[in-house]
Structure 1
């Protein structure tokens, strides 16, 4: 399994107009029947302990600022995938995320046919609204890259038993 950073290939204006930050990571999986929701569930429905510890710390730090904590958001269309409300969904693309007063965030999970199965791509888009959003984005960026790659790697694993 090779996770590679790629140039984001989403229409920013249709997903999150004005987004100042975007990154994307891709992995090829052998499961030719994988759809975007199943891929997103594998990616976001469970966190390694170190990721969960960072999320717990983040929630404690941002709560006094009135920022949304993990799992707070309005699921418009398709419920929740992990911590994120699903905003729109097709078999090839799932868009999740939320708006907050410091920034708006979207994660896009795309699934497309590839030579040896399917490419699964996660794209993150962020639109900051103020100094707090810019400071928050700068502070979490080193962790975001590690977490994004780690979670995307979970799409290659068998689903967790329920």
Structure 2
């Protein structure tokens, strides 16, 4: 694990119980921890030029910027249709694990999102609550448009 990240994580875990007792500080504390993780994700993603072929979204607690101790980092990586080589993406995920992060991730095309979300309500709601880390408005609009057409009120209830 990177020494700076290890130090940050150690201090975070050490101070968390006391911070948790003061509820007014908890949300800020969780958000700050999420922001630190997000900065590391962005830096490495851009360093590997993955933004040319992929968009990356945060889901779950990380997406809500509520990173509790020992929470995993849920990432949804969207292949925007140009990737031919996934080596750098593998390097990115390996980097995250090497830093000591517990990463849960998926790599999907927009077509995959449509097909999976049509069959699985949990996946559907996961994409509804996504938070872009690195993306563009066109990709985000395409995902929103696909999701808005999948489940009607009658299907949902």
Do Structure 1 and Structure 2 share a fold, with TM-score over 0.5?
no
Higher helix share: 2
Tell me which interval the TM-score lies in, with the shorter structure as reference length: 0.3 to 0.5
The higher radius of gyration belongs to 2
Q: TM-score, normalised by structure 2?
A: 0.32
Determine which structure has greater relative contact order: mean sequence separation of CA pairs < 8 Å that are 6+ residues apart, divided by chain length.
Answer: 1
